[in-house]
Each structure stands twice: as C-alpha cells, then as structure tokens.
Structure 1
Amino acid sequence: MSLAIPPRDPEVTPKRLVVLAVPALAIGVISALVLWALDRVAAVLQSALWDALPDALGVDPSGWWIVAVLTLTGLAVGLVLRFVPGHGGPDSATTELVEQPQPLRNLPGLLIVTVLALAGGVSLGPENPIIAVNTALMVAAIARLMPAVPKQLTVLLAASATIGALFGTPVAAALVFTGIVAALKSGGALWDRLFLPLVAAGAGAFTMRLLGAPIFSSDLPAYGAPQAVDLLTGALVASGAAVIGLAMLAAFPIIYRAMHALRHPVLIATAGGLLLGLLGLLGGPITMFKGLEQIGDLLEHPDDYDGAQLAAIAGIKILALLIAASSLFRGGRVFPATFIGVALGMLGHALIPSLPLGLAVGCAVVGVLLVVTRDGWIAIFVAVAVAGDITILPMLCVIVLPVWLLVTGAPEFRIAPPKGPAPASTPAGAD
C-alpha cells in the first residue's frame, strides 16, 4: 500500500510563503515584545506588593498580608471589569486558548486585570489573555497595513507567535496547531500550512530568549535505560493524575455557579480574592501565582517534601485554580495545571519510589494537561520540557494512550459561554 502525497494547494506557492514570511517574522517579534512587557510590568508590581511594600511597613509578607493583597487584588479587578470600557473582554473561564479577535476597546481593561492577577498572586497564567491581546493587535495592524492578508491567517500567526514566546520554542506552537491545520478542508501538504505559523512562533521564541525570559527547565536526574515495569507504574501515575483532573473538571461548574451567585463583578472578584488569600495563607507562596517559578522551587529540592505535604500543595493549588477561574479573573489554566501535575508527579514518586522522579513528574503532567487542554501533543511537550529529559519521550508516547481513553469522552475544561442576558462582567446596558 502506498501513501498518496496530497497535491499542492495552488494558493500556497514558495513565492507567497517567502512574501508572507516577512509579516510573520514581524508578528513573532512584536508578539514576544508585548508578552515580555506584560511580564515586566507584572514583575515590577509583584515586587512592590510582596517585597518593597511589606518591607517598608515592617510586616510579614507570608502572614495576613497574603489575605489582604489577594482580597484587594480581587476588588481592583472587579472595579476594572465593572467600570473600564470593554469590561476586560470575555470571561476567561468561557474561552479557549485561541479565540476570534476581540475589539480593541477591550484590551486596556484586559491588560490591567491580567497584570493585577499575575502580580497579586492569582493562580492563573498569562496565556489566554496575552494571546487575545496579541491577536487583536495584529489583526488590526495587518488589516490596515496589508489588507490582502486573510484575517484567519493573521489570527493563526499571532497565536502561534505568542505560544512560541510563552514556551520559549516554536515546537509548542507546531504541536498545538498541527491538529488545527490538519483539520482544514483545503488540500496541500501539512508543512506548507505550518510554514508561516512556525516562522512567527520561531521569531517569538527567539525574541524571548534574547530578552532573557525564563523557560521550563529543571535539573532532575536523567531517566536512563527504559524499564518495562515503568510503563505500568507510569501509567498508574498518569491515570491517577487524569482522574484528579476529571474531578477538577466536575467541580469547575459547581464552583463557578457558586461564585456567580453573587451576581455583581466587584463582589465576585473580591470574594474570589479573599478565598484565594485564605488558601495562600494556608498553603504559602508555593501555591500562589501562575506556577512557573513555583515549579522550579518544588523541583529544586524535591526531598524537602513528604507525601502529605505534596498532597496538600496539590489540593490547595487545585482549589486556587478553580476559584480563580470562577471569579472573573482573566488568565489561562495551562501554567497552574502544570504545577498541579508536577506536585502530583512528586507525590507519585513518593508513593512508588521505584518510578524515577523525572518520569513520574512527566506522567502526572500528561495526565492533568490531557484533561485541561484536551491535546495530547501539548501535554507530552510540556511534560518533557518540565522534566528536562528527552529520554522520557518514548515512554510518555506509550503511557499517554490508555490515559487518553479516560479523558476522551469528557467535556472541555471551560464553562459554556452564557446565552441570553449579558454576563456579570459586562453589566446590561454597559458600553
């Protein structure tokens, strides 16, 4: 049996790819710069809130300060959502990673609440908001400067560039968009379709590397020679993490409805901030923020945590993620879900010491991210990136298969967008 090579799409020619590579490069660089600027502003505000201000006041930033800052963060976010034009755009709990571009008037409010959440310690990542911002900006700019470029192509390039910048490599964007591109009805080779997104993602990733942005990395021991028994124990850890992820999925709409029973955005976000503050007081800074730096803290000294501590850390972070996502905070779920996977993987290693730590972490990250992202490629990529060990890749490619059977029938990890009356974050009659 021979494999037929699909005919080349007549619209996708080498000349056209080269011409469009120029705006793709520009989109990649600009998207990375916007992400970098957002991170820098959030980092400055975070340093002021958690270092400079408590030092000046002579208070302990690990005590009641956590509750105060997160409650005030929720209040500030609620006020922005209520009174700033655009109201911060759609509720992140209802959106996918890549959506249609938002109106430009939504972006100031969206940027403000994203910075507040990142700096204030809310357990959400920047991925959904920054992709939304870059997509809206690039669509508006390209429509003015190069109106012949299709809008959907600009959306694809901006999202690819931002994902490449977020993860520090174009591989992540390639994996995310392979399924999207493959699903297109038009013919042509897959790599013709991926060429421009990879140009944009590569430019975004390279720009972030030049700017010195942190990336997923760890110093876990290398896995070494594969062992057959590790397929079984690794699948157990991955399946256990997936089951916990499915429990999170089941609890998400319940918590969302409970928070939205307060109806007013200021009350919802403030109450969410208060609850996040209490969880932060209980779990400490390791269970706060988006989770990237905290993953490094966990993996730097894995022997410092026993099984009970790891279970508590994972449980508190799960509650923090669900409450943050249910309380009108704008942010993504991939980064905090990855932290949960790391904590569960370390717990799996503590319960099954014969399973190497790096593989255990990778398996648990795969299990959680399969539920949260519904994408096996991105789950495997993030797992390998966090473990920092390419030798676990063959094991994960096998272990992911039975775990996928657990999650394939589950709904997406998001709340269905409301129908009918305006949502709480966009009061009826508001502009």
Structure 2
Amino acid sequence: MATESPSPAPAAPSPALRLLTAIVPALAVGVASALVLLGVSLLAEELQDVLWETLPDALGVGGYSSLWMIVMLTATGLAVGLVVRTVHGHAGPDPATTGLVDTPMAPGVLPGLLLVTTLSLAGGVSLGPENPITAANIALAYWLGRRALPGAPAEMWIFLAAAGTVGALFGTPIAAALILTENIASRPGPGALWDRLFAPLAAGAAGSLTMTLTANPSFDLSLPAYTNPAWSDLLSSVVIASAGALLGLLAVYAFPVAHRLFEALRYPVLAMTLGGLLLGLLGALGGHLTLFKGLDEVKVLAAHPGDWTAGEFAVMAVVKTAALVVAATCGFRGGRIFPAVFVGVALGLCANALVGSVPPALAVSCAVLGVLLAVTRQGWLSLFTAAVLVSDTAVLPMLCIASLPAWLLVTGRPQMQLREDGTPLK
C-alpha cells in the first residue's frame, strides 16, 4: 500500500520580509513611547510652576529660598511615600534594584508609577524620568503587543519600547541604537546584529521624531567650539575623565550603604520623607540649580560659567552626587543619567575654572564621560552623551583616549544597581 509523502514545511519568510513586517509595530510603539514621556513631562512642568512659583509667591516667600527648598522637598518625600504606600503595586519594585531596561511590570502598577514620577520631577528630586518612563512604556508595549500580535516574539516589545523611549529622551535614534547594541549583543539570537537592531532603530526614530516635532529638545550646551587641539589636551582629557569616574565611583560605593540605612527605617513613608528632607538640605547647601533632573540647569551653568568660582562648581558637583545617591536609595522613582550629566558638567566647568587653558568643551565632555561610565557602565551611551553635549566632533578623538583609563577604573567594580538582597551588581 502506497504511503503519502509528508507535505513540505512552509518556507520561512526571507529576512527582508520579516524585518518589513516589524516596521509598523515599531513605529507605533515609538510614537506612543514619546507621547507618554511628553505627557508626563508637560504635567510635571505645570505642577513645578505651581509648586515653585505660584505657591511661594502667594505665600510671600522666595521660591528658591533655603526654607522653601527644605519644606518643598520634605513635602514631596511625604507625598510620594504616601502614594507608594497606598497605590496598587506600590509603584513598582524597589528603584534601587531596577535598571534602564528590565522585565515588564504588570499594567496595574503603571498609574502609581507615573504619578510618583510626576510628583518627583515637579518637586525637585534629583532624578530623571528615564527609568520609570521606560519601565511604563515597556509594560504597555508588552501587554498590548502580545494581544495585538500574539505570534511576535515577546522580547521584541521590550526592545521596541526601550528604543522608542530612549530615542525620545535624547531626541535622536542613535542613542537608542547605541544603548541597545550593548544589550542585544550580549544576548543570543538569530540573525546579524543589524537585523536585530532594525525594528528598535525604527522605534527609536519614531520616538525621537515625535519628540522633536512636538517639544524640540536639545542637549547642546552652546559652549565655545573646541579648536586648535594641543598635545597637552591629551593629559587634560585623561585626568578630567578619570576624576569624573572616581567621583562617580564614590556614588556607586555609597549606594548600598545609603540603601541599607533607609531600609532600616522599615516604612517607605518615613524613608522618603527623611530622604526629601536631606535633599532639601543639600539643595540649600548647593543652591537651587542642584535640584531637579538637571538638564535645564546645566544649560544655565554653561551659559554663564563666569558667574561661579571653581570652588562653587566643585560644591555643586559633590552636592548633586550626594543628592543622586539619596534620591535613588530612599525610594524615589527616577533615572540616574541626567543627574550624572549635571555632576559631569559642574566638574568640567570646575576644571576649566581652575586651569583656564583647558578648553571648556573638552573639560565638560570628558568629565561627563567619566561620571557616566561609573554610574551607568554603558560605554556607548557615555561617549554619545559626552559628545552631543558639546556638538563638536573635534572632541571625539580625545574622548576615545580619555575613555580608556576611565573604563579601567570602573570595570569590574560594583554597579549603581542592587540585587533584591541588597548586594550590588557587578
């Protein structure tokens, strides 16, 4: 009796066709990610105006007086602590244990997470929006994407949301591609690296274009162009980047210690209220420019560097470093990239004020590079951010040289992220 031959398996789609089918969901996720970031940012800005201008004016006190900074940051800590204590899911896991790209949260956690993020941004907490907004976008994309396209790889939605958010944050898809290159390259998967980056790059482009057309963000500090490179600049770049890395490592090593101290208080409301008080005291010490995420504040520093001495820049760098550690360990939800950029800019301007022959663009970019390498442990992100702040390709060779000793200082050291048992990642 003749047997029928098995029917041939359907041919797998070509790589080009497979990539083409990912473009539409990538663009949709990128646009949505940018809109979530934009919505939270606009709401936080409106609330910030009320808290720091309208309210103190009505009370007849200085909006950035030492008293108001202490009162406002303490009140912000109390408010955020109460929200974390009462909302469903407690606004996500302990932020000291989370990174920029993590596993998706449950959708029910997101309202509380976005609320405390808005309160922290408006209240002057020294953290950026990148971690919680990325986490929220990953959760939304993962939850909705698996229902809309159940056959698509679940991991795809994580990378699309991360790329769309990072592209929107930095105003360019290059930042998303650089960050995800390190993440994707470390994971096994089929296809060439550019095949695996194709859809995330589209999401990053959609996110950055959406943000550019609606808010026109800019990282350029408008520092004097770096002209006439000199041999002495090699030594300057290495010393400044290494100093930035060492300052960042101080924060990294203080991170688990501060976290244990706040954990010993046992109650998040108490921990964040105390954290807010400490942030207010640090703000009174370093000045109001050391508050908030730091992106707008670094532009003020760079626009009028002659208004501060080298000592004042050094104080701001140290105060912002301490504020970053306090805010990230007491329970506030937020990212560490933008505050670290402020630390680097203040440190670079301090170096320029101490040694006037060091070009400000070189000093700032190298200091930012060193601090970010220590805080983020992301090489491409650190190089990109340092370069984009001065918008001058002439600094790139110096930055590449400066990154070598700075990376030797930070590699193998603990990271600014903890495991659930409180021990730092390495």
TM-score of the alignment, normalized to the shorter chain, above 0.5: yes
Q: TM-score, normalised by structure 1?
A: 0.93
Code of the residue aligned with 1:325 in structure 2: it is: A
Judge conservation of contact 2:70–2:284 (CA < 8 Å) in 1.
Answer: yes
Q: Secondary structure at the match of 1:415?
A: coil
Q: 1:339 aligns with which of 342, 356, 360?
A: 342
2:187, 2:114 → 1: CA distance? 32
Corresponding residue pairs, total? 410
Q: 1:251 aligns with which of 249, 254, 261?
A: 254
Q: 1:235 aligns with which of 234, 238, 244?
A: 238
Counterparts of 1:206-355 in structure 2 under 5 Å?
A: 206-355=209-358
1:393 paired residue number: 396
Q: Secondary structure at the match of 1:125?
A: coil
1:12, 1:94 → 2: CA distance? 40
Judge conservation of contact 1:12–1:192 (CA < 8 Å) in 2.
Answer: no
Q: 1:26 aligns with which of 28, 34, 41?
A: 28
By how many angstroms is 1:331 displaced?
Answer: 0.3
Superposed CA deviations along residues 318-341 of structure 1, whole A, max 9, x for unmatched, are 111111111100001000001000
**CA spacing shift, 1:227–1:152, aligned 2, 3 Å:** same
1:75, 1:409 → 2: CA distance? 37
Judge conservation of contact 1:276–1:320 (CA < 8 Å) in 2.
Answer: yes
Between the aligned residues of both structures, percent identity stands at 52
**CA spacing shift, 1:47–1:213, aligned 2, 3 Å:** farther
By how many angstroms is 1:352 displaced?
Answer: 2.5
Judge conservation of contact 1:36–1:213 (CA < 8 Å) in 2.
Answer: no
Look at both structures and tell me which one has the larger radius of gyration over its CA atoms: 2
Superposed CA deviations along residues 133-173 of structure 1, whole A, max 9, x for unmatched, are 00001111111111111110110000010000000000101
1:82 paired residue number: 85
CA-atom RMSD in angstroms: 1.3
Superposed CA deviations along residues 47-97 of structure 1, whole A, max 9, x for unmatched, are 110011112222211221111111111001111111111101012111111
Code of the residue aligned with 1:313 in structure 2: it is: M
Structure 2: gaps of 5 or more residues = 1-11
1:168, 1:318 → 2: CA distance? 25
Q: Secondary structure at the match of 2:189?
A: coil
2:101, 2:206 → 1: CA distance? 19
1:55 paired residue number: 57
By how many angstroms is 1:186 displaced?
Answer: 2.8
Code of the residue aligned with 2:196 in structure 1: it is: R
- Asked if residue 40 in structure 1 is aligned to residue 42 in structure 2, the reply is yes
Judge conservation of contact 2:129–2:334 (CA < 8 Å) in 1.
Answer: yes
Q: Secondary structure at the match of 2:356?
A: coil
Q: 2:98 aligns with which of 95, 99, 102?
A: 95
Superposed CA deviations along residues 202-236 of structure 1, whole A, max 9, x for unmatched, are 00000000112422111111112332221111100
- Asked if residue 142 in structure 1 is aligned to residue 145 in structure 2, the reply is yes
Code of the residue aligned with 1:16 in structure 2: it is: R
Q: Secondary structure at the match of 1:29?
A: helix
Q: 2:70 aligns with which of 58, 63, 67?
A: 67
Judge conservation of contact 2:253–2:414 (CA < 8 Å) in 1.
Answer: no
2:268, 2:90 → 1: CA distance? 10
Moved over 4 A (4+): none
**CA spacing shift, 1:294–1:271, aligned 2, 3 Å:** same
1:418 paired residue number: 421
By how many angstroms is 1:274 displaced?
Answer: 0.9
Q: 2:183 aligns with which of 180, 184, 203?
A: 180
By how many angstroms is 1:175 displaced?
Answer: 0.6
2:203, 2:349 → 1: CA distance? 35
1:184, 1:50 → 2: CA distance? 45
By how many angstroms is 1:187 displaced?
Answer: 4.1
2:235, 2:213 → 1: CA distance? 41
1:215, 1:257 → 2: CA distance? 37
2:189, 2:255 → 1: CA distance? 37
1:192, 1:69 → 2: CA distance? 49
Code of the residue aligned with 2:134 in structure 1: it is: I
Code of the residue aligned with 1:36 in structure 2: it is: L
By how many angstroms is 1:418 displaced?
Answer: 3.1
2:227, 2:19 → 1: CA distance? 41
Worse-matched range after superposition: 168-177 or 63-72 = 63-72
Q: Secondary structure at the match of 1:289?
A: coil
**CA spacing shift, 1:81–1:12, aligned 2, 3 Å:** farther
1:40, 1:186 → 2: CA distance? 38
Superposed CA deviations along residues 312-368 of structure 1, whole A, max 9, x for unmatched, are 111111111111111100001000001000001111112222211001100000100
Counterparts of 1:106-145 in structure 2 under 5 Å?
A: 106-145=109-148
2:165 paired residue number: 162
2:190, 2:271 → 1: CA distance? 47
- Asked if residue 13 in structure 1 is aligned to residue 36 in structure 2, the reply is no
Q: Secondary structure at the match of 1:87?
A: helix
Q: TM-score, normalised by structure 2?
A: 0.94
1:5 paired residue number: none
2:205, 2:358 → 1: CA distance? 35
1:425 paired residue number: none
